[in-house]
Chain A
Amino acid sequence: GESVGLHLPTLSVQEGDNSIINCAYSNSASDYFIWYKQESGKGPQFIIDIRSNMDKRQGQRVTVLLNKTVKHLSLQIAATQPGDSAVYFCAENKAGGSYIPTFGRGTSLIVHP
C-alpha cells in the first residue's frame, strides 16, 4: 500500500559536517509533510514542515526540500552538532482527508565529536 519510507536507517557524520536525511513517499495525493526529531526515550518533536506548493523551506540550521516529481523529501542539517543525534521521521498528510500522521521507519543520525 502507499506509505512513507526512508532510504537509510543510520547516518553517521562528524561534528560540523552537513547532514542529509532522505524520505520517499508514494501517496501522490499527499501535500503536507513534516519532519520530526525523536531523542532517545522521548516523544517526537516537530522540526519543520513544508506544503506541496513549495519546493524548499528553511529554518534555523535546517532546510527541507521537496521534489514532487520523484516523490522525494529531504532534511538538511547544517553544521551538525552532537545534540542533533536522534532519530528523524518524516510524516505526510493528504489534503481534504482526516489528519492522521503517517510515519516511516526513521533514520538514526549519529554525530561524532
Chain B
Amino acid sequence: DGGITQSPKYLFRKEGQNVTLSCEQNLNHDAMYWYRQDPGQGLRLIYYSQIVNDFQKGDIAEGYSVSREKKESFPLTVTSAQKNPTAFYLCASSLRRGWETEAFFGQGTRLTVV
C-alpha cells in the first residue's frame, strides 16, 4: 500500500547529540514537510521541500536541518543547537500540482532528551 513511513517511532537523545529522523513516502508526492507538535499545541512547520534538491525553512527551523536528495526521502536532523527538542515530530507529503490537495501524514516520531 502507498503511504508515508516515519522511523523510529520512539527516539531518545542525550544532551549534545545530533539525531536523524527518517521519513519515506511511496506516494510519488513532490512536496514533503516536517512539523513539530508539543503537548496541547498545534503543528508548527519546521522545514518543507517542494522538489528534489530544494527545501525551505518553516517557522521554527533553528536547530534543525534537512536534505532532499531523493523524491521519496526527507530526513530531519535535530542538532545539538536545538535547546528543547523533546516533542512529537510529524512528516507529511502532498501533491505539488494544484492547491486543492490534502497532506498525508506519517505516524510520527516521539523524541525525548535524556
Q: Which residue of A lies closest to B90 (CB)?
A: A43
How far apart are A56's CB and chain B's nearest CB, in angstroms? 17
Total chain B interface residues with beta-carbon distance under 8 A: 28
**Is B92 an interface residue, CB under 8 A from the partner?**
yes
**Is B102 an interface residue, CB under 8 A from the partner?**
yes
**Is B53 an interface residue, CB under 8 A from the partner?**
no
Chain B 48-63 interface mask (CB, 8 Å, partner A; 1/0): 1010000000100000
A-chain residues with CB within 8 Å of residue B92 when the two chains form the complex = 43, 101
**Is B40 an interface residue, CB under 8 A from the partner?**
yes
Most chain B beta carbons < 10 A, residue from A93, A94, A97, A104: A93
Total chain A interface residues with beta-carbon distance under 8 A: 27
Decide: B40 and A34 in contact? CB cutoff 8 A.
no
Q: A32-B99, A97-B99 are in contact. Are A43 and B105 (CB under 8 A)?
A: yes
B-chain residues with CB within 8 Å of residue A46 when the two chains form the complex = 102-104
Decide: B41 and A43 in contact? CB cutoff 8 A.
no
Which residues 15-60 of B sit at the A interface, judged by CB distance below 8 A?
31, 33, 35, 40-43, 45, 48, 50, 58
Point out residues on B near A: beta carbons under 8 Å: 6, 31, 33, 35, 40-43, 45, 48, 50, 58, 90, 92, 94, 96, 98-108, 110
Task: Known A-B contacts: A43-B107, A49-B100, A49-B102. Give 19 more (CB < 8 A).
Answer: A9-B40, A32-B99, A32-B100, A41-B108, A42-B108, A43-B105, A43-B108, A44-B43, A45-B105, A46-B104, A97-B99, A99-B98, A101-B92, A101-B103, A103-B35, A103-B42, A105-B40, A105-B41, A105-B42
In the complex, 21 of the A-B residue pairs with CB atoms within 8 angstroms, ordered by the A residue number, are: A32-B100, A34-B102, A41-B107, A41-B108, A41-B110, A43-B90, A44-B90, A46-B103, A46-B104, A89-B43, A91-B103, A98-B50, A99-B96, A99-B98, A100-B48, A100-B58, A101-B43, A102-B45, A103-B35, A103-B43, A105-B40
